[in-house]
A = this chain, B = another copy of it.
Amino acid sequence: MIHQAEHDALRRALEIAAHPAVALGPNPRVGCVLLGTDGRVIAEGYHRGAGTAHAEVDALARAGAAGAAGPTSTASTVGATAVVTLEPCAHTGRTGPCTQALIDAGVRRVVIGRRDPNAVAAGGVEVLRAAGVEVETDVPAELAVEAAALNRGWEHGLRHARPLVTAKLALTLDGRVAATDGSSRWITGSAAREQVHCLRARCDVVLVGAGTARADRPALTARRTDGTLHPRQPLRAVMGLRRIPDLPTQAPAVPAVHLRTHDPAEALADLHARGRRHVLLEGGPTLIAAFLAAGGVDELIVHLAPKLLGAGPSAVGSLGIGTIADALAFDLVETTLLTSPDGRTDVQLTLRPPHA
């Protein structure tokens, strides 16, 4: 088990790892907090993306800089505890192995939020222990869950060689995404729409079909309630063979790409090659159906408005299912009520395919 100071340090490390200036992508997000022998924080560090210093090295550098200004110089890291969100790497990539940096700095103990699922980089625990460093991986469950969630897309990419796909549906009780005249603004209340912008800021791609791009001209940016842009913006992607209109732009310009395919696997391979690891699929019904039919949806977030339309386009296009026994079943993971300031409440359901 870990001490209270280490618990606090791990929570802080998780927080700085998720710094909004850090892009999601092919590298994991990692935070590191160095504690002195008295349990006080010596320095913090985090990884800022491919090609930059790893979190441990960043923290050690800051400890050195801090130490140089004070009376103890870099000796402050001797005997220190390093609290890191992810197992320190034992391999030399664009940077040297973090395990060696920790050992060289005289770190006595390392607390690890999550083991590295990446076979290439793993083995840090063993290297550290072989060098006589004490390693603790038994952290409280809620912090372990957070450490896993921090790099969900990245871990999914390692296991499946394609980005994680979250599909979002906003629909009425009777499964309509719009009325017969095509109007859909707004099916859900402001709290649900705000939630969608948070979702966009947590993903690194927002993907829609060409039909939706043409019909709705969606901005697909992640915006705050005051209309300003979130510091982290997803890549905006439109998929389909036909010509698509330019998406509305906002300053500073948010990148947009056109994926010229109808095949979900091809689109995901393209996005993966671009270093993208978490796709938010926002419609329309045909694209959602294509991804579902191809087994390409890892998570479904449904915003259910307590309304009935009785007619209008359905949320999901044909899946080629003819009988009830073949229905696509999901596990219900979470149910949340989204209540808007005007008192309207929508229901948010989070679902995953069985055994996902």
CB pair B173 A169 closer than 8 Å = yes
Q: Which residues of B contact A305 (CB under 8 A)?
A: 327
CA distance A349 to B302 in the complex (A): 14
CB pair B311 A321 closer than 8 Å = yes
B-facing mask of A312-356, CB < 8 A → 1, else 0? 001111111111111111111001010000000101010100000
Query: Is the interface on chain A under 10, 10 to 19, 20 to 34, or 35 or more residues?
Result: 35 or more
Q: Which residues of B contact A310 (CB under 8 A)?
A: 289, 292, 314, 316-321, 328
A179 interface hit (Cβ, 8 Å): yes
CB pair A335 B308 closer than 8 Å = no
CB pair A324 B174 closer than 8 Å = no
Q: Which residues of B contact A325 (CB under 8 A)?
A: 183
- Set B187, B292, B331, B332: member contacting A308, Cβ < 8 A: B292
CB pair B324 A178 closer than 8 Å = yes
A193 to chain B, nearest CB (A): 14
Q: Which residues of B contact A181 (CB under 8 A)?
A: 322-323
CB pair B174 A314 closer than 8 Å = yes
A332 to chain B, nearest CB (A): 5
B-facing mask of A156-191, CB < 8 A → 1, else 0? 000000000000010111111011110111110000
CA distance A186 to B328 in the complex (A): 13
CB pair A331 B347 closer than 8 Å = no
Oligomeric state, in copies: 2
CA distance A287 to B347 in the complex (A): 26
A307 interface hit (Cβ, 8 Å): yes
A297 to chain B, nearest CB (A): 10
CB pair A347 B318 closer than 8 Å = no
- Set B178, B289, B326, B329: member contacting A306, Cβ < 8 A: B329
CA distance A183 to B321 in the complex (A): 11
A149 interface hit (Cβ, 8 Å): no
CA distance A173 to B314 in the complex (A): 10
CB pair B175 A172 closer than 8 Å = yes
- Set B176, B187, B300, B324: member contacting A175, Cβ < 8 A: B176
A309 interface hit (Cβ, 8 Å): yes
Interface-centre pick from A181, A306, A316 (highest chain B CB count, 10 A) = A306
Interface residue ranges of A290-308 to B (CB < 8 Å): 292, 300, 302, 304-308
| A347 and B349 contact, Cβ closer than 8 Å, known pairs A179-B323, A307-B329, A309-B321 | yes
A233 to chain B, nearest CB (A): 28
CB pair B337 A185 closer than 8 Å = no
A201 to chain B, nearest CB (A): 25
Closest to A186 in B: B324
Give residues in A with beta carbon < 8 Å to B.
169, 171-176, 178-181, 183-187, 289, 292, 300, 302, 304-311, 314-332, 335, 337, 345, 347, 349, 351
| 6 cross-chain CB contacts under 8 A | A169-B173, A180-B323, A186-B324, A304-B349, A306-B329, A314-B314
A sample of 20 more A-B contacts (CB under 8 A), given A173-B330, A180-B323, A310-B314, is: A171-B175, A172-B327, A173-B315, A173-B349, A174-B316, A175-B176, A179-B321, A179-B322, A183-B323, A185-B324, A186-B324, A289-B310, A304-B304, A305-B327, A307-B327, A307-B328, A309-B324, A310-B319, A310-B320, A332-B337
